[in-house]
Amino acid sequence: MKQAVIDAHNLSKIYDEDSIPVVALDHAQLHLNRGEFTAIKGPSGSGKTTLLNMIGGLDHPSSGYVEINGTNITKLHGNALIDFRLNNIGFVFQSYNLIPVLTAKENIEFIMLLQKIPAKQREMRVLELLKQVGLENKGDKRPGELSGGQQQRIAVARALASKPQFILADEPTANLDSVSATNLLDMMLKLNEEENMTFVFSTHDQRVISRARRVITLEDGKIVEDTAPAKITNGINLLE
């Protein structure tokens, strides 16, 4: 049985630059199931990041709405939206967005502090995540003491810390060398395969696209292609 995670209904986003409307997203329809490893691709300005931001509740559509497990997040505002994102969505950004004065352990732990998870549980979860991303011996290092690939692994661990419904990754390999990018993607694919973690990427990186089980192509704010192989993963048919 398919288990829906995300439904985007007729999403549009129009920006008004100097009174000249700019259509960033044009009536996008999208259904994503639990356990997918999906890449959203397209040229710069095609609407990839805009669509990802709508799905993640980081921006509101001009029209249409997004449902996550049946909750219309477009109707959520203020603390209700913040709390929903905190407990349901993990974010990974191309610039890592780690807090420079905190150690790797503290960066991973931070979201759990916001969730008011007890200290012992936080400690156990941090150690588990450091092991998952292969950085057990880097927990006491600050971001400036880590390579770009290591920082992005810590960012993934932080995104996983809250046990989200899915991970949104916006150009996660953009600032990484080839080896670091390959290692990061293989790690994320392993998490997807072994733990059924849902990943949605915004990317133009062919290394991401080649690993994706579903590829959604955007042009001028419109979804022009949506391809998914007939593959069964963790008992879920990923074909629409």
Query: Is the model's pLDDT at 149 over the cut of 80?
Result: yes
Phi, psi of 223 (to 5 degrees): -80, 115
Query: Is the model's pLDDT at 232 over the cut of 50?
Result: no
Residue 81 to residue 154: CA distance in whole angstroms = 25
Rounded to the nearest integer, the mean pLDDT of the chain is 90
Q: Token pair for residue 230? A: 């007939």
Q: Which residue from 12, 1, 3, 2 is spatially nearest to 66, judged by alpha carbons?
A: 12
CATH number of the domain at 85, please: 3.40.50.300
pLDDT tens, residue by residue, 104-113: 999 999 999 9
Q: Would you place residue 238 in the very low, low, confident or very high pLDDT band (cuts 50, 70, 90)?
A: very low
| pLDDT at residue number 237 | 38
Q: Token pair for residue 95? A: 């610039």
Residues 43 and 67: beta-carbon distance below 8 Å: no
pLDDT tens, residue by residue, 151-168: 999 999 999 998 898 999
Average pLDDT of the segment spanning 86-98: 92
Average pLDDT of the segment spanning 97-117: 95
Q: Would you place residue 3 in the very low, low, confident or very high pLDDT band (cuts 50, 70, 90)?
A: low
Domain assignment of residue 200, given as a range: 4-237
| pLDDT at residue number 5 | 85
DSSP classification of residue 220 = T
Q: What percent of the chain has pLDDT over 90?
A: 81
pLDDT tens, residue by residue, 13-62: 998 866 788 899 999 999 999 999 999 999 988 999 999 999 999 999 99
* Domain count within the chain: 1
Residues 66 and 11: beta-carbon distance below 8 Å: yes
Average pLDDT of the segment spanning 118-132: 94
Q: Which residue from 39, 31, 29 is spatially nearest to 204, judged by alpha carbons?
A: 39
Q: Which residue has the higher pLDDT, 188 or 236?
A: 188
Average pLDDT of the segment spanning 208-235: 81
Residues 64 and 28: beta-carbon distance below 8 Å: yes
